[in-house]
Structure 1
Amino acid sequence: MKLFKMFNNKRLFILLITLVMFIVLMGFSLGPRKALTWPENFLRDTTGFVQNLFYKPAGYIAGFFEDIGNLKDLAQENERLKILAAQYARDKAQYNFIESENVRLEKLNKFTKAQENMYKYEYHVAQVLGITTEPGNSTLVINLGSKDGVKLNMSVISDKGLVGVVSQVSNFTSTVKLMTMMDVNDPNSQPAIAATAIEKVNSTFGMIERYDPETKKLIMNRIPPGDPIKPGDEIISSGIGGLYPRGLVIGKVDSVDVGEFGLTSSAVITPAAEFEDWKELIVVYTEERVE
């Protein structure tokens, strides 16, 4: 009996010691510490190494696929930007083209309106289909013909001045003989033009008879003595003879030379039309020719 009590007391003593050590250990673990124990350090290092061993390659793989996705998005963005750039260039070109066309057509409209108000002619804008600049055959073809009321010897002008006359007419097109063909000594030439000067209509007269291909100037002959024509004067058709309508702009006087015997003078004229690469021209319909 006494032995049994001693055994129980021993067990109770061990239990109490164990409980006290557990409480001390718990307090030591839960209390603030500046360093970990070596088992904790070993466990943490081992866990970190294993995590690093598996997570790093996984991170690389994930980053690789993420980079592929980013490259795909970047390529799509580049394609979109290229399309936008192309659209911008196209829209800019179209805007510039439309703007230049509006300016040009507005200029044409102002020119024809001013002429129409002066002399009440009818004007039809024609598209230039082709041009020939062979020696002795300076002509062009327009898209207006007899169905549009075009007839032989109708005057053709640009927005700057007289270009030529209609020399051939078909149903849908017409051929225009240019002023660069003008030479009174050539039977195939464009007819001479009776001309005068603006603000000197009643005192200035002459005949535009020739185009000098070397100087690219028109020559106005038969100017009577005492004519007040001078350099800088703007020369227009006088309407005399009925072939060319009155008031069509021809050019400006460069110089005036008195003839050998002083009976007549001649003038060098810079053409107003400049004979450029036209896209549109204007056919002048006078009242007697309008159907």
Structure 2
Amino acid sequence: MRKLFSSKTVVILMVGFLVIVGLITGSNWWANKTNTPPLFQRMVNDITGGVSRVISAPTNAIGTRANSLSNLLSTFDENKKLKSKLDGYAQTQVRLQTLEDENKSLKKQLDLKASLTDYDTVSAVTIARSPTTWQSQLVINKGAKSGIKKGMPVLGDSGLIGRISEVNTVNSKVTLVSDSSEDTNRFAITVKGSQGDVNGIITDYDVNQKLLVMGQITETQAINPGDKVVTSGLGGMMPEGILVGKVAKVTTDDYGLSRKIYIQPSSDLSRLSTVLVAKTEVGS
């Protein structure tokens, strides 16, 4: 059986051991003398540092990408929440503005109602208004069940806006003073001028200027812009004394033979969310 170690092998191992110890000892002595790491340690450090850089490069890249993606997703979620809050804020502002407009209209109607002492009134809300008939009619939420009858005058926040033209059980159709159909709203009015009253009738509506037109004027008294215009009660279609508007301008017809009076309606006919119906027998 062969010996595990021969004498020659033992000698080589001992010499190698002594060499390694000597190198380590010399390196430490040199490191202490020069304040630099031993050669062996520097070699190990260099190898370890290189391996670490190789390993850390893709790891750092992946980490950076992951952080960027996470930040992007967070920004997206935050942006979505902010947009949602902004939309909610805009909706709240619109609702608040609508309520403020309705509140102002109702306050004006209270003052108007107080002036209509000769008539009972019914408050109603506009429930339908088609774009195709915007200038001519609307539908309110009160009908025969509330005592509404055909021909009753309908008022906005400051004055006359039209008449009841159709009555159902729980709703009614209102024909506006701005309806330019033939003979729809040819009711008699009076201009309260400084030199006396001037009578006439509503004959037309100027869509471009949004003004009522008064024709068939027989009197010669002066009429000036700003003069008040009310219903005269003549003809039986409207009760007397309901405010229609004020004179906007005075012109002559195409032949220069008679005057044309343009009237600014007292109520904004484009914004009629709430109305008052005067319960009269006139025009029924």
Q: Same fold (TM over 0.5)?
A: yes
Q: 1:45-96 CA deviation, whole Å, 9 max, x = no partner?
A: 2112221132113322432342244134313312321222222321221132
Paired AA for residue 81 in structure 2 = L
Question: Which residue, out of 217, 223, 226, partners 1:229?
Answer: 223
Question: Which residue, out of 48, 52, 57, partners 2:54?
Answer: 57
User: 1:230, CA displacement in angstroms?
Assistant: 1.8
The SS at the match of 2:97 is helix
Q: How is 1:13-28 mapped onto 2 (pairs within 5 angstroms)?
A: none
Paired AA for residue 47 in structure 1 = V
Matched, 1:150 2:148: yes
Aligned position for 2:33: 33
User: 1:125, CA displacement in angstroms?
Assistant: 3.2
User: 1:112, CA displacement in angstroms?
Assistant: 0.3
Matched, 1:204 2:201: no
What is the alpha-carbon distance in structure 2 between the residues aligned to residue 215 and residue 65 of structure 1? Answer: 68
The SS at the match of 1:73 is helix
Structure of greater Rg? 1
User: 1:235, CA displacement in angstroms?
Assistant: 1.6
The SS at the match of 2:169 is coil
Question: Which residue, out of 264, 270, 273, partners 1:270?
Answer: 264
TM-score calculated relative to the size of structure 1: 0.68
Provide the aligned C-alpha RMSD in A: 3.8
What is the alpha-carbon distance in structure 2 between the residues aligned to residue 104 and residue 174 of structure 1? Answer: 23
Paired AA for residue 177 in structure 1 = T
Q: Which runs of 5+ in 1 are unaligned?
A: 1-24
TM-score calculated relative to the size of structure 2: 0.69
Percent identity, please.
Answer: 17
What is the alpha-carbon distance in structure 2 between the residues aligned to residue 225 and residue 59 of structure 1? Answer: 102
Change in CA separation of 1:210 and 1:242 when aligned onto 2, cut-off 3 Å = closer
Change in CA separation of 1:44 and 1:252 when aligned onto 2, cut-off 3 Å = farther
Question: Which residue, out of 249, 253, 257, partners 1:254?
Answer: 249
Q: How is 1:63-102 mapped onto 2 (pairs within 5 angstroms)?
A: 63-102=60-99
Q: How many residues align?
A: 250
Aligned position for 1:243: 238
Q: Which runs of 5+ in 2 are unaligned?
A: 1-24
Change in CA separation of 1:56 and 1:275 when aligned onto 2, cut-off 3 Å = same
Question: Which residue, out of 210, 214, 219, partners 1:220?
Answer: 214
Change in CA separation of 1:148 and 1:83 when aligned onto 2, cut-off 3 Å = farther
Q: Is the 8 A contact 1:124 1:285 kept in 2?
A: no
Q: Is the 8 A contact 2:231 2:239 kept in 1?
A: yes
Paired AA for residue 34 in structure 2 = K
